[in-house]
Structure formats: C-alpha cells, structure tokens
C-alpha cells in the first residue's frame, strides 16, 4: 500500500491542456475567417485587383479629369499616343478617360442592383422558409413565375416603356436576379428554424420578427453574403450587356457602351474593345475570386484543415 502511494506520488502530473486557439496558433493552423481568407492566394489576388479597380474609379477622375465624351484628337489613335495612353475611338475620344469614368457607373449600378436583389430575394425567401405551408407555396410559385421570364426580353420591354436611367436599369436587373437569392434564403431558413436554440427562443415568447432578424438572419448571413458577391459579378455583366445593346442611358459612359459603340471597328482599332472588355473581365473575375475566398473562410468544415 505504501509502495503504491509512493509510486503515484512520483509519477509526473499530466500537463495542462492547451487552449484550442493557442494550440492552433502553435501548429500554424488558421483560427479566424481572415486568416483562412489570406491563405487563399487566388482570393487575395482578387481582393487586390478589385481594390485597385475601385480606387481607380473613385480617385481616377480627380487624377485624370479628362471628359470621356470630349474629343482629344484624331480618331483611332493607337495606344501610347500623346494625350491618349489607351488610344482613341471612332470619335477621337480618350480611351483611358472612358475606362476611368465608365467604371464608376458600371460598379455603382452593379452594386445597387445586388443590394436590391438581396433585399427582395432575402425578404421573400425568409418569409417562405420560416412560415412554410401555403405561404411558402404561394411565394415559391411567384418566384417560379419570374424565373421563366426571359431576362433580356423583360429588360428590353421595361427599359423601352420606362426609360433607361441608371435607377431603372438597376431595378430591372434586380427583378431578373432575385429568384436565386430567394431560393437560397428559403433553404437556409428552412434549415435553421428547427434548431434547438430557435425553438428555445420561441418557447420563451420571442416574436417571429425578432427571431428572424436577431437569430436566423445573422446565422444565414455568411451564405447570403457569398451569394451577394456572385450577384455583383452577374449584375456587372448584365449591365454591360444592356449597354452593349444600346438599352442603357446613352448619356452616361459605361464599359458596355464603349464596347457596343466600337464593335463595327474591331478590325480597325482593336484597343477600343479590348481595354473595356478587359476591365469587365478583371472586375467580374476578382469579384468571383473574393466570393470563393469568403466561402472557404466562412465554411466551418474548412477551418479544420491544416
């Protein structure tokens, strides 16, 4: 008995367990969404490119205040010409001024359309998923009605009837893009509303509106924000397509309008289409890469990877 007691006394005590966060830091394992996002090189590249494009559209007009509608010289001057670093178009307008000033309208319309898409889609999807029953069936039938409408044809009809201002263009794009967001929000609310903590709040007398806004929506927000980044890219492409077809406001310079106006001269002046097309491509690509990075960073299963 004495020998057993002495043996237990001499045995070393087990070390105190390290907190999971400290252990993760020692092994080099990311512990935050930002750390996971930074590990994604493609996402960081997209963030850098997107930041540069946004800064170019915000600061560029003050650094390079050339009017994009004003002629600066002879038409079809190649890139690198004096006074026209990216060349001129068929009217002698500066291509760099068009890229800088057109980017502001393209990004703002795309962002405004994405915000409206989120408001409409999340609102309808949240009510359908949380309430269920006949309300869910009615709202999903309404969603399917908009899904079968051809987006381009619907936009052409509305813009012809109500004008082609930037606000109308953004509203039209939101009307054709919200259906996917509504279905995604519905599936998230269907999944979350039966969790134990939601039932506990409901049993404590919390109102449905409070549960939706304070509990369910914040838990569904990461998935919806990832979807929002994709919507921004799609909205930019749709806005460029409408400008290319001449359906957008002709008094506002956009990248799509630059491509649409210069398409007859592609074989004569390739730069008039290449540079605005490259700007659209890089913007949509960077937004998509950032969205993929956010998806990796906010996915709990991926936080366990080494």
Reduced to 3 DSSP states, what percent helix, strand and coil does the chain have, rounded to the nearest 5?
Answer: 75, 0, 25
Buried b (16+ CB within 10 A) or exposed e, 229-262: bbbbbbbbbbbbbbbbeebbbeebbbbbbbbbbb
In a domain, 157, yes or no: yes
Q: What is the dihedral of CA 285, 289, 295, 297, to 10 degrees?
A: -160
What are the residues whose beta carbons fall under 8 Å from the beta carbon of 239, sequence distance 6 or more? 106, 109, 110, 113, 169, 173, 248, 254, 256
How high is the pLDDT of residue 138? 92
The neighbour count for residue 164, using CB atoms within 10 Å, is 20
> What's the chain's average pLDDT?
82
In a domain, 184, yes or no: yes
In a domain, 9, yes or no: no
In a domain, 81, yes or no: no
Q: pLDDT-derived band of residue 30, with 50, 70 and 90 as boundaries? A: low
In a domain, 27, yes or no: no
Q: What is the CATH number of the domain that holds 54?
A: 1.10.3720.10
In a domain, 136, yes or no: yes
Q: What is the pLDDT of residues 267-284, one digit of tens each?
A: 889 999 999 999 999 999
**Number of structural domains, the chain?**
1
In a domain, 78, yes or no: no
Tell whether the model's pLDDT for residue 217 goes beyond 70: yes
How high is the pLDDT of residue 29? 55
In a domain, 281, yes or no: yes
Answer for the pair 187, 129: CB distance below 8 angstroms, yes or no.
Answer: yes
Q: What is the pLDDT of residues 47-91, one digit of tens each?
A: 999 999 999 999 988 999 888 999 888 889 999 888 889 999 999
Domain residues for the domain of 117 are 46-63+86-301
For CA atoms 178, 51, 165, 161, the dihedral sign is negative
Angle between helices 255-262 and 271-298 (to 10 degrees): 150
What are the residues whose beta carbons fall under 8 Å from the beta carbon of 7, sequence distance 6 or more? none
Mean pLDDT of 163-169: 84
% of the chain exceeding 70 in pLDDT: 87
């Amino acid at each position: 008995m004495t020998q057993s007691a002495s043996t237990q006394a001499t045995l070393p005590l087990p070390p105190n367990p390290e907190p999971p966060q400290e252990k993760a830091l020692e092994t080099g394992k990311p512990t935050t969404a930002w750390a996971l996002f930074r590990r994604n090189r493609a996402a960081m590249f997209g963030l850098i490119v997107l930041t540069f494009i946004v800064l170019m559209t915000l600061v560029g007009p003050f650094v390079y205040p050339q009017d994009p509608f004003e002629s600066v010289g002879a038409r079809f001057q190649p890139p690198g010409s004096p006074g026209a670093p990216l060349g001129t178009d068929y009217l002698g307008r500066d291509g760099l001024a068009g890229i800088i000033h057109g980017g502001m309208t393209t990004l703002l319309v795309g962002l405004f359309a994405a915000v409206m898409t989120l408001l409409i889609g999340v609102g309808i999807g949240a009510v359908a998923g949380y309430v269920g029953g006949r309300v869910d069936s009615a709202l999903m039938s309404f969603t399917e009605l908009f899904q079968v409408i051809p987006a381009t044809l619907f936009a052409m009809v509305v813009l012809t009837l109500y004008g082609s201002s930037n606000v109308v263009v953004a509203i039209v794009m939101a009307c054709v893009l919200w259906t996917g967001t509504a279905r995604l929000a519905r599936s998230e609310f269907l999944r979350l509303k039966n969790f134990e903590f939601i039932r506990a709040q409901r049993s404590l007398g919390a109102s449905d509106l409070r549960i939706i806004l304070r509990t369910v929506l914040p838990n569904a927000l990461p998935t919806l924000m990832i979807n929002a980044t994709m919507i921004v890219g799609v909205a930019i492409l749709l806005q460029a397509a409408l400008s290319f077809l001449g359906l957008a406001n002709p008094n506002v310079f956009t990248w799509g309008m630059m491509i649409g106006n210069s398409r007859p001269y592609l074989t004569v002046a390739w730069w008039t289409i290449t540079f605005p097309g490259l700007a659209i491509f890089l913007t949509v690509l960077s937004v998509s890469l950032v969205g993929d990075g956010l998806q990796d960073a906010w996915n709990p299963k991926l936080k366990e990877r080494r």
